[in-house]
Amino acid sequence: MNKIIQPLYTTDCGQAFVGNSLDLLDTLPKNSINLVVTSPPFSLQRQKEYGNVVQELYVDWLAQFAKKVKDVLAEDGSFVLDLGGAYEKGRPVRSIYNYKVLIKFCEEIGFNLAEEFFWFNPAKLPSPIEWVNKRKMRVKDAVNTVWWFSKSDFPKADVKRVLAPYSNRMKELLKNGNKYYTPKMRPSGHDISDGFDVDRGGSIPSNLLQIPNTESNSQYLRYCKIVNAEGHPARFPKKLPEFFIKFLTEPDDTVLDIFAGSNTTGEAAEENQRKWISIEIERKYSAASVFRFINITDENEIKSLYYRLLNENVFNVEIKKTQSRLVSIVQNSEDFQLLQQAQE
């Protein structure tokens, strides 16, 4: 960071900031981030609690962030953007805003589209009610577009880190290859030669990521209930950022989420030994996101931590995970010493 801006809380691997990403992005060193993975407030017609921008202005609004993201990304870094679909207001006609975002980011800002992904959420509820449930003239929209942008043609990426489990048929083939195929050149040009039946630890995943968004009993949600806070209304499932974190970064690389919400990205990064930075404009969401990192079970301690984080004057709360189950939450080193002494 060039300017001294204090995080709300820090963990072993990460820093959670409260503020506007447009400002905070200016404070990050250039070329310092390996992956930005994020899900912005969507361009929906209905006003969402977490803030919205009218559809027409949306693409330009998002582009301001993208320009700054490009500056902070490493040359071989990636920018992964999850965008949900939307309908035009009052019409059974899809908005094409997510494709406009794609074109603007590539043609005006200078990103490459490394690959397009589609996140299929089989648990998605049908909507809008008028076109899907009542009039039954549109099917359920259960797929988000996820654009994987890069600065260079060769962003850091290794499919071996995200291999998918083999299908049952492939497992059989690995056990008894001769029974299932004869080595030959396929009409498609694929060489199905000896070696096709070598176990490589999994199959190459496709760009259709099937991940149900069904979290209901996580520590994050349980602790939100304890402090009487609503869970963030637009969380993505941890497996989504986790796929890109594993695929596009290595341990100790730095992952940034500029619209962090409940900081699902930070949790996925922490669990995979990546450094992380999260930026969320709403303090209440950032404060509750700490529940993803603590190892406390005492309800009063959970409440007092949460209320402390809600206080506008509080910054730099350190969440330290020790080797054992003990977790020290310290606001300054003096408290930390006292805690350590008490634990000995």
Ligand X SMILES: C[S@@+](CC[C@H](N)C(=O)[O-])C[C@H]1O[C@@H](n2cnc3c(N)ncnc32)[C@H](O)[C@@H]1O
Residues with active-site annotation:
39-40, 82
DSSP state of 107: I
Separation CA 149–CA 147 (nearest Å): 6
Q: Does 39 bind ligand X (CB under 6 A)?
A: yes
Separation CA 312–CA 310 (nearest Å): 6
Stretch that binds ligand X, among 26-34, 159-167, 196-204, 257-265 (CB under 6 A): 257-265
Q: Does 209 bind ligand X (CB under 6 A)?
A: no
Q: If binding means CB under 6 A, how many residues of this protein chain bind ligand X?
A: 21
Q: Please name the amino acid found at residue 14.
A: G
Q: Which of 78, 121, 144, 264 binds ligand X (CB under 6 A)?
A: 264
Q: Which is nearer to ligand X, 21 or 131 (CB)?
A: 21
Q: Does 41 bind ligand X (CB under 6 A)?
A: yes
Q: Does 280 bind ligand X (CB under 6 A)?
A: yes
Beta-sheet pairing, 184-185 with 191-192: antiparallel
Q: Does 15 bind ligand X (CB under 6 A)?
A: no
Q: Which of 68, 151, 235, 275 binds ligand X (CB under 6 A)?
A: 235
Separation CA 80–CA 59 (nearest Å): 16
Q: Which of 102, 279, 302, 317 binds ligand X (CB under 6 A)?
A: 279
Q: Does 234 bind ligand X (CB under 6 A)?
A: yes
Q: Please name the amino acid found at residue 131.
A: W
Separation CA 147–CA 22 (nearest Å): 20
Q: Which is nearer to ligand X, 34 or 278 (CB)?
A: 278
Q: Does 17 bind ligand X (CB under 6 A)?
A: no
Tokens 């930390």, located at residue: 336
Q: Are 57 and 45 in contact (CB under 8 A)?
A: no
Beta bridge partners of 192: 184
Burial profile 310-331: b = 16 or more Cβ within 10 angstroms, e = fewer: beeebbebbbbbeeeeebbbbe
Q: Does 51 bind ligand X (CB under 6 A)?
A: yes
Stretch that binds ligand X, among 101-109, 121-129, 260-268, 325-333 (CB under 6 A): 260-268
Separation CA 268–CA 238 (nearest Å): 6
Separation CA 218–CA 221 (nearest Å): 5
Separation CA 10–CA 331 (nearest Å): 10
Residue nearest to ligand X (CB): 261
Q: Does 282 bind ligand X (CB under 6 A)?
A: yes
Q: Which of 50, 118, 315, 336 binds ligand X (CB under 6 A)?
A: 50
The first and second tokens of residue 213, run together, are 């968004």
Q: Which is nearer to ligand X, 73 or 268 (CB)?
A: 268
Report the run of H or E that residue 307 belongs to, with start and end.
Answer: helix 299-310
Q: Does 285 bind ligand X (CB under 6 A)?
A: yes
Distance of closest approach, residue 135 Cβ to ligand X, in angstroms = 28
At 42, give phi and psi (nearest 5°): -75, 160
Stretch that binds ligand X, among 148-156, 173-181, 229-237, 244-252 (CB under 6 A): 229-237
Q: Which is nearer to ligand X, 14 or 40 (CB)?
A: 40
The site for ligand X (CB under 6 A) is made up of 20-22, 39-41, 50-51, 232, 234-236, 259, 261-262, 264, 279-282, 285
